[in-house]
Amino acid sequence: MTKTILELANELDVTKQAIQYQLKRINKKYLSKRDDGAYLISKEGQDLIREAMGFEVKSSNKDTDKDTDKDHQKTDKISDKDLLEDTITILQKELEEKNHQIESLQELLKEQQNLLSQQQQLSLQSNQQIQYLQLELSKDSNEQKNDSEFKDDINIVENEKQEPTSKPAEKKKGFFSRWFSS
CA angle 62, 32, 23 (to 5 degrees): 80
Q: Are 50 and 12 in contact (CB under 8 A)?
A: yes
Q: How many CB atoms lie under 10 A from the CB of residue 26?
A: 16
Task: Give CA–CA dist 129/126, Å, rounded.
Answer: 5
Looking at residue 138, what is its pLDDT?
A: 86
Task: Give CA–CA dist 108/115, Å, rounded.
Answer: 11
Task: Give CA–CA dist 172/181, Å, rounded.
Answer: 13
Q: How many CB atoms lie under 10 A from the CB of residue 40?
A: 17
Taking the CA atoms of 50, 51, 54 and 59 in sequence, report the sign of the dihedral they define.
positive
Q: Are 14 and 53 in contact (CB under 8 A)?
A: yes
Q: Are 31 and 40 in contact (CB under 8 A)?
A: yes
Task: Give CA–CA dist 50/9, Å, rounded.
Answer: 10
Q: Residue 57: in which H helix or E strand, if any?
A: none
pTM for the predicted model, two decimal places: 0.34
Walk along the chain (182 residues) and give the pLDDT tens digit of each residue.
Answer: 788 888 988 988 899 898 888 888 887 888 888 888 888 888 888 888 888 888 877 665 555 555 566 666 666 667 778 888 889 999 999 999 999 999 999 999 999 999 999 999 999 999 999 999 999 888 877 777 776 776 776 777 676 666 555 555 567 777 777 777 75
Give CA separation, 77 vs 71, 74, 90, 91, in Å.
10, 5, 20, 21
Task: Give CA–CA dist 56/71, Å, rounded.
Answer: 21
Q: Is 127 helix (H, G, I), strand (E, B) or coil?
A: helix
